[in-house]
Chains A and B, each alone.
Chain A
Amino acid sequence: MKRRILPALLALAASVPPAHAADLTIQVDNVRSGDGQVMVALYDGAATFLRQPVRSASAAAGAGSTTLVVRDLAPGDYGIAVYHDANGNGRMDTNMMGIPVEPFAFGRDAQGTMGPPAFDAVKLAVPSGGLATRVTLR
């Protein structure tokens, strides 16, 4: 059962920020090198979690810690998924069995049991005043 993410990035880039928009600041810890990029995707519900993000962002990786800001979010619940695209090939690499070989993290540092955690375990309420959070790559 492969989960595909369909971000429709072009459509998102053209979208208009809603009123009372909030900023979400994500500090990504345990970045093992300054190689490549740290990638973030936000999801707004269980049905689209790890399938269709509502927003995504990336930043050049900084060894140790990298901070990304996603601006102008509508207040609400968001599930965060992060990975370190250390080799900069634009995808999360997996081994021959499909197990990720690049470091990843989820909101609230939630972890699954041989698979990703559920949306409810990773979601964070982003209020109109914005939110700052941290995740740790593993």
Chain B
Amino acid sequence: MERRRFLEAGLGFGALALAGAARADAATYRLFHAALQRDPALSIYADVPGAQQGRARIEGRMPAGLQGVFYRNGPGRFELNGERYQHWFDGDGFVQRWTIRDSQVRHQGRFVETRKFLDESAAGQFLYPAFGTGIARRGFRDNDTMNAANTNLLPFGGKLYALWEGGSATEIDPETLATAGIKTWRPDLKAMPFSAHPKIDTDGTLWNFGALPGGDRLALYRIGRNGSVLQAGVVEVPKLALLHDFALSERHLIFVVPPYDVQDDKTRSLAERHVWAGSGAGARPTRVVVVAKDSFTVRRVFELPPRMVFHFGNAWDENGGAVTHVDLVLHEGDQLAALGHVMEGVREPNRPAGHRAVRVTLDYASGRAATASLLDGAEFPRVMPQVVGRRHRRLALLSSDRRNPALTLDTVNVVHVDTGKADSWRFGPGWRAEEHVLVAAPGARGETDGWLVGVVQDTTSGASLLSVFDAARVNAGPLALAHLPYRTPHCFHGNFLAS
């Protein structure tokens, strides 16, 4: 009798269970604001008060062929009532659009009006758990109550989605950036984790995954351009930790599971409960889990030395799928915890060898994973949209120049992955690059036939800029810089929609 299963509320929630008591993070607030006085460059981690709208001043020449909207998302509010979040991933999503039309650039930005944002704004204080801050002042229904919608902004099938990774996508009006609400792709997928790094395949369909750290179920989705769910399922992967991104090839979905033990200590935040298991006596390897696209089954698990992974560039199959090449950025050690320090105003030391872009080659017959270095000090890898899941020869990356005393992503690069040669440009002192994406020119014939487009924060003037490079000649410097008269929140990720 099914009624016997009446009310299983809470079943499966253990992975995200959090503390009953609110944390005092007034200390984080004080530390950050004291550090900001000494180091104005930390302003990129400060709050913005609200919606923004402005016109940019163009320096240089905006290419005539570059027309469209650059959608971006990142955390814009870290503080309420004298308290400050303890992790960069915690802030409320602030979505932005940079409109490039007829060589002019306009900018708009506004907060995503999530349930969390509205409830906490009304209460005048943080109420719900964030990834790295264990606040639990008010009970809540499920993971979407704490959805910060702060990680990516994806145009897809004529709609626009603000993405988080522990819950649903949030639909946003592509013109006004007003919040439409939580997106449920199918009724039985309500409140499912839906990662912030979907990939659009060459046939125009969207692939994505969802995972709850500490669990062992990896959800997979394939969604058509009309929003219909073409495929959804779960594969069992033991000891899942934070999975932020993945790659797809023609036949495979490639995941990398870093070695963390996710503790069940309900007095701490989810970030704090990630205990690095990649060093010491019982060190575990990093696992590369390859799933077959057609069957949603694990094809093979490979092992790498213990490394943390956030972002993938691309993957492609060779020899009829006997080998898969994956370009991604590997971090040494517990980089997850390190990303919390900036909230206190503590800058990370520059360790270019500590996070490098690599090519991992997976051989299914032998089970061997070989690694070759592409670029040191790197992060935020992207490829041209038309080569996603297919052989690519260029990889766009940010990097921190090795002369920087502290980690500062001040350099943009397009790396020729076959030769390892980087075409690079370093911005001036006090400038900090955000993710740059490759945008194809109309009728593009190759991966350098287009532009490298991104946002840069000029912390010396407290203003933000859109930067445009020729993808074939990055070292010539920006073709155009579009200067805003104000600072925008530092974003995590974005996507360009050509008009």
Q: Give chain A's interface residues, CB within 8 Å of chain B.
A: 1-7, 9, 39, 41, 50, 53, 56, 81, 83, 89-101, 104, 106, 110-117, 138
Contact = CB atoms under 8 A, between A and B. Distances in A.
B188 A95 contact: yes
Nearest to B134: A113
Contacts of B3: 7, 9, 39, 56, 90-91
A111 B140 CA distance: 6
B9 A50 contact: yes
A106 B7 CA distance: 10
A55 to B, nearest CB: 12
Contacts of B5: 4-5, 91-92
Interface in B201-233: 210, 212, 215, 217, 219, 232-233
B10 interface: yes
Contacts of A92: 5-9
A138 B139 CA distance: 12
Contacts of A53: 6
A3 B6 CA distance: 10
Contacts, number: 137
Contacts of A114: 10, 13-14, 16-18, 129, 140, 142-143
Contact of B6 (A39, A95, A101, A117): A39
Q: Which of A39, A112, A116 has the most CB of B within 10 A?
A: A112
Contacts of A101: 187-188, 190-191
Given A9-B3, A97-B191, 20 more contacts: A4-B5, A39-B6, A39-B7, A50-B7, A50-B9, A53-B6, A56-B3, A90-B3, A95-B188, A96-B188, A96-B189, A97-B193, A97-B215, A110-B139, A112-B9, A112-B10, A114-B17, A115-B9, A115-B13, A117-B139
Contacts of A100: 8-9, 11, 142
Nearest to A138: B141
Interface of B is mostly: loop
Contacts of A104: 7, 9
Given A91-B3, A111-B138, A113-B139, A97 B192 contact: yes
B: interface residue count bin? 35 or more
B262 to A, nearest CB: 14
A112 B138 CA distance: 8
Interface of B: 1-14, 16-20, 129, 136, 138-143, 187-193, 210, 212, 215, 217, 219, 232-234
Contacts of A41: 6-7
B11 A98 contact: yes
A45 B215 CA distance: 30
Given A97-B12, A113-B136, A56 B6 contact: yes
A56 B5 CA distance: 12
A6 B193 CA distance: 30
Contacts of A9: 1, 3
Given A91-B2, A114-B18, A96 B8 contact: no
Nearest to B140: A111
B6 A91 contact: yes
30 contacts: A3-B10, A3-B11, A5-B7, A39-B6, A41-B6, A41-B7, A50-B10, A89-B2, A90-B2, A91-B2, A92-B8, A94-B8, A94-B12, A95-B191, A96-B233, A97-B12, A98-B8, A98-B13, A99-B143, A99-B190, A100-B8, A110-B139, A111-B138, A112-B9, A112-B140, A113-B17, A113-B19, A114-B143, A115-B9, A115-B13
B116 to A, nearest CB: 13
A113 B20 contact: yes
Nearest to A6: B4
A89 B2 CA distance: 8
A97 B14 CA distance: 11
Contacts of A93: 188
Contacts of B4: 4-7
A96 B7 contact: no
Contacts of B14: 1, 114-115
Contacts of A106: 9
Nearest to B219: A96
Contacts of B6: 5, 7, 39, 41, 53, 56, 81, 83, 91-92
B243 to A, nearest CB: 13
A85 to B, nearest CB: 9
B130 to A, nearest CB: 13
Nearest to A53: B6
B146 to A, nearest CB: 8
Nearest to B11: A98
